Chain A
């Protein structure tokens, strides 16, 4: 029974959420630190659920420990569990870094993780200890993206060194795919830039088959590199929204409301370059222009050719995509990037939806689309049932977003182009590309082909040439 029920009503319950919980975002970031083993300070189920969810997307080993709260722990505090947990992790895994994310339970009872870390360090001062980083991530505040950005900024604020400004740059790409990260690294290398990319899970969450088993998968940004973020000459940060908004939580007021690049600008005088997700030609042009300025070099020929091919594809594919109506959903910065791109190719985003509640999504989307689509709906704090209920009125041709919207596209019989996270009903999510001219090319091809396939399959005469 998948029919739509009573539309146009607001609900207090969330029906098929379009967001995940904060410690998941932090866990992704911790997996992007070299030699890091994440631990969730809370109930064992949190680690298990988050592992299973990340694994079904990345199809890679994802080991996350838990401090395993019991009823007793909830009453007397998690101190003992924390220490036992850390000790066991060191003994079994001997990681270079332990990344600790809090959970609903530890936050509700008011656990102070930085204090627990300090105490552990004091007691074990004589031993060689791993580096500890942490993020405050209760699920009742914000989404997985808030957890992600909280972890990035907290790690940087913890580790970034003071010192003389170097020639290197920082890049904080946000929650993108391992293939996106690899592409970014290629671009920066081709510009001859010395860079620190954080988090970098391009290998740790998409490893080749191993010669020998690695208990902590290789890859990730080394602590020594994260330290260098403090002396960079500039930080590139993708995303206009990040964790800067916040209707529903502390994020608006508390001191936690800063991004890594903001913190570095304020505390280490590292210039902050604000960029959107480089999806589509305009946003990618801005990114490359920034790289030209920072490197003092022109865009390498390879990327000029990529851009040229992308423009060529826009021209050739125009007739298949122009005027089509899309429902776009997912993480806020991802949907802003996607809308920027769709606007270029003439697909009308009739609904832009996110489970995030920054409160600034609408503003950013309007800025990017320059009032082109007066009918377009932009909704924060959205769930899939609300999207489902709006489809009758919106008459979309295509869905663009994660796997969770599949049931609606199936009901409507229209294509879903899978992007972002989670993608657990298709193979190769870790290799999906979104960023740069190259990533946009992939997206453009996938979207165009989805529309062609739809047309072909619904054609009464079975065209072979479309």
Chain B
């Protein structure tokens, strides 16, 4: 079906006001040289079943979740803390069995009726003291859930008071679930707090000649371990990770790195921007999803430092790793070539994972983000033209200035100019790399998902667990790109090979052939799906 017609058919089902709003979030792509604006980061309409989560989820679960030595204390009724209890599958590797790791704990003030009526600050203070007494942690983060904002508990005042009393770093997040449009608001709130309360606290950098920070990498399924392996092999030192396999110390020393590389632009670009202004660290976008993309990203880093030894080493590593990758591709590609994928996930994954599918010879027919903004689709150049609505105004925009003591330009203006090709502060977005005629849908609704599958029968649909069993009931395999279906890593070179194998397994399964029972005479609809 022609994608334009698909769009019209789908919109027909909505009440006219809803259709008018959804219309702007569904777009037939006119090609990289003719990128049209798409509506994104606007509030989901009530009653539309969405993939999106809440501000709290983005703040507590995504950005701060993977850091092992901070106690994350959830101020609110029990549900929110329970549901965010290690559900994101990010991994961590403490150096010794005795090293602090609080990631398996779900701490909550478990607010009751009386706390809603009389306020929960006293309980919150007591909970901070208990967390301190139990673990003597380096830091405590306090996360606000919906009712906290309503009843007016001042988590920031409590944090200040407790910081004073207990003598450790304690800070609060006003990340009430209703605050923003999606998780994305929570990312921003988390970024702000890291800049305000953590980054710059210690000047002791990691050892090494080429020090970088990796931003927007969350170690799902062990991705960070693979990237650590590759960087280490190249002789590049990872000063801090935001925030896969990270520690508070890494955040505190982040300003000592010489370069910030950004994986997930959506969730962490604020930190990159603020660190550049405050400490003079340049940043550029990288992508370690896909073997070729990983090679390209390593070369970018080597070019930035400009050292011939490093460049040589990086080329050696790439040659060595790609040889292994190629063997796998040669074996698997004949079985995956020409198949079709759809990706609706995240604020960067729907873009990045297209690289891996390209390597398998698979095309992306339709894609969209769950919580991306226009710049994640159209590129950062559209940022000045993005309309600020009530929801975005809700989230604090920190103004940072050059730190009088710690600001240190890493490169001169001339040097930066000479390196222009590295595209500092740039991100071209997903659309620049997608084919003409593809369907771009922001905040895909459940209903639209059903229609996509019904009409186009992709060979694989990438989303999360909420979509998984619906899609599979429709006879199409779903690859979870939030938790990787308990597989992974998929980043870097070894990760790419893992991904090829997993996709080969799911797009070539024979299970669909068994749907029809021998006693069923009538041909069934699923017969079409069976590849």
Contacts and interface: CB of A to CB of B under 8 A. Distances in A.
B178 A61 contact: no
B72 to A, nearest CB: 12
Contacts of A373: none
Contact of B47 (A85, A138, A209, A210): A85
A16 B47 contact: no
Nearest to B94: A1
Contacts of A306: none
5 contacts: A1-B97, A14-B81, A44-B50, A66-B50, A88-B46
A84 interface: yes
Interface string A78-100: 00011011111101110000000
Contacts of B150: 74, 105, 108-109
B454 interface: yes
B202 interface: no
A72 B393 CA distance: 12
Contacts of B466: 48, 51-52, 55, 62
Interface in A220-237: none
Interface in A21-70: 21-24, 39, 42-53, 55-56, 59-70
A325 interface: no
A373 B170 CA distance: 45
B91 to A, nearest CB: 15
A217 to B, nearest CB: 8
B390 A72 contact: yes
Contact of A207 (B105, B130, B473, B474): B473
A140 B13 contact: no
Contacts of A87: 15, 47
Contact of A63 (B56, B100, B446, B515): B446
B418 to A, nearest CB: 47
Contacts of A6: 133-134
Contacts of B115: 140
A88 B45 contact: yes
Contacts of B100: 1
Contact of A138 (B46, B77, B453, B465): B77
The winner among A22, A61, A105, A212 for most chain B CB atoms within 10 A is A61
Interface in A1-25: 1-2, 5-6, 11-17, 19-24
Interface in B65-104: 73, 76-85, 87, 94, 97-102, 104
A110 B286 CA distance: 48
- Counting chain A residues whose Cβ lies within 8 A of the other chain, the interface size class is 35 or more
B178 A69 contact: yes
Interface string B449-490: 010011000000000111011100111000000000000000
A19 B106 CA distance: 12
Contacts of B468: 55
A248 B177 contact: no
A88 B44 CA distance: 12
Contacts of B450: 213, 215
B424 interface: no
A141 interface: yes
Interface of B: 13-15, 18, 43-57, 73, 76-85, 87, 94, 97-102, 104-113, 115-116, 123, 126-127, 130-131, 133-135, 145-147, 149-151, 177-179, 182, 390-391, 394, 446-447, 450, 453-454, 464-466, 468-470, 473-475, 515, 524-526
Contacts of B454: 213
Interface of A: 1-2, 5-6, 11-17, 19-24, 39, 42-53, 55-56, 59-74, 81-82, 84-89, 91-93, 103-105, 108-109, 138-141, 143, 207, 209-213, 215, 248-250, 355, 385, 404, 407
B149 A13 contact: no
B153 to A, nearest CB: 12
Nearest to A84: B46
Given A1-B101, A48-B50, A53-B83, A61 B131 contact: no
Q: Which 5 A-B pairs have the closest CB atoms?
A: A45-B54, A21-B79, A88-B47, A85-B47, A139-B77
A168 B364 CA distance: 56
B78 to A, nearest CB: 5
Given A6-B134, A14-B109, 7 more contacts: A12-B109, A48-B51, A61-B473, A84-B46, A85-B47, A88-B45, A213-B450
A138 B147 CA distance: 10
Contact of B49 (A46, A60, A65, A207): A65
A67 B177 CA distance: 13
B56 A64 contact: no
A55 B469 CA distance: 8
Nearest to B103: A1
A219 to B, nearest CB: 13
B82 A211 contact: no
A207 B465 CA distance: 17
A61 B449 CA distance: 13
B109 A68 contact: no
B54 to A, nearest CB: 2
A13 B73 CA distance: 9
Given A44-B53, A48-B50, A104 B81 contact: no
Contacts of A17: 78, 81-82, 106, 108, 110
A141 B112 CA distance: 6
A88 B177 contact: no
A14 B110 contact: yes
A139 B79 contact: yes
Contacts of B127: 12-13
A84 B54 contact: no
B81 A73 contact: no
Contacts of A11: 130
Given A44-B53, A53-B83, A139-B78, A68 B525 contact: no
Nearest to A81: B46
The winner among A2, A39, A55 for most chain B CB atoms within 10 A is A55
Contact of B46 (A46, A61, A66): A66
A249 B46 CA distance: 30
A63 B51 CA distance: 10
Contact of A13 (B48, B98, B109, B525): B109
